[in-house]
Chains A and B, each alone.
Chain A
């Protein structure tokens, strides 16, 4: 039972381009939606997160767009750089819902080419 579906599985973007990764969730009780970035051999690290009371959150080159009615959220990376090449995971949880347990998507391998 996959509660958070992520696409695409892999993505190749040219330097300076826009990278877009999409996620869809099923559980309407989810109220916290983080994106994690993972480099090879490392643990995931929080990149940016959003609560459902806003439709967009921007931090530098990274933006989350959130559509509550469609139960979808996406990560946009503007002016993508080779250093952004990593695996990105979307996740969702219920704040205070017995441990704030994260349900992860299956990940997107992003490669930014020169």
Chain B
């Protein structure tokens, strides 16, 4: 298993450009997440999905969009990039069943470092 893979690893965008960050997991996890990590600020949740076709906002969703058409893929779209979106973006996935009531580990990808200038 490759786990959670993210592309690209690095990207420089000009203000106003758009791009899609790709995320794929091969663990058949139903839950997927997008976080951004800024220096000294920890990780903040942008969007999450509890299954194909279901997405919801996290703590910092403004300026981003997501879709979840398959279990494996959860792309993050940046429209009209702004310098405030300069960050490291992490995709994560986990498995959860309501009947188990137990917490499952979130597995993180290697991240995409994005710079907007």
A residues within 8 Å of B by Cβ? 6, 9, 32, 34, 36, 41-46, 49, 51, 89, 93, 95-96, 98-107
Nearest-CB residue, chain B, relative to A89: B42
User: B85-105 CB contact bits vs A (8 Å, 1 = yes)?
Assistant: 000001010101010011111
Nearest-CB residue, chain A, relative to B32: A99
Q: Does any Cβ of A come within 8 Å of B74's Cβ?
A: no
- Per DSSP, chain A at the interface is loop
Instruction: Point out the residues of chain A lying under 8 angstroms from B48, CB to CB.
Output: 99, 101
Nearest-CB residue, chain B, relative to A45: B108
CA distance A42 to B50 in the complex (A): 24
Instruction: Point out the residues of chain A lying under 8 angstroms from B101, CB to CB.
Output: 95-96
Instruction: Point out the residues of chain B lying under 8 angstroms from A100, CB to CB.
Output: 31, 94, 96, 103-104, 106
Nearest-CB residue, chain A, relative to B56: A99
- Minimum CB–CB distance from B108 to chain A (whole Å) comes to 3
A-B contact pairs, 23 of them (CB 8 A): A6-B42, A32-B103, A34-B105, A41-B111, A42-B111, A43-B4, A43-B90, A43-B109, A43-B110, A45-B108, A49-B105, A51-B103, A89-B43, A95-B103, A98-B56, A99-B48, A99-B50, A100-B103, A101-B33, A104-B43, A106-B40, A107-B40, A107-B42
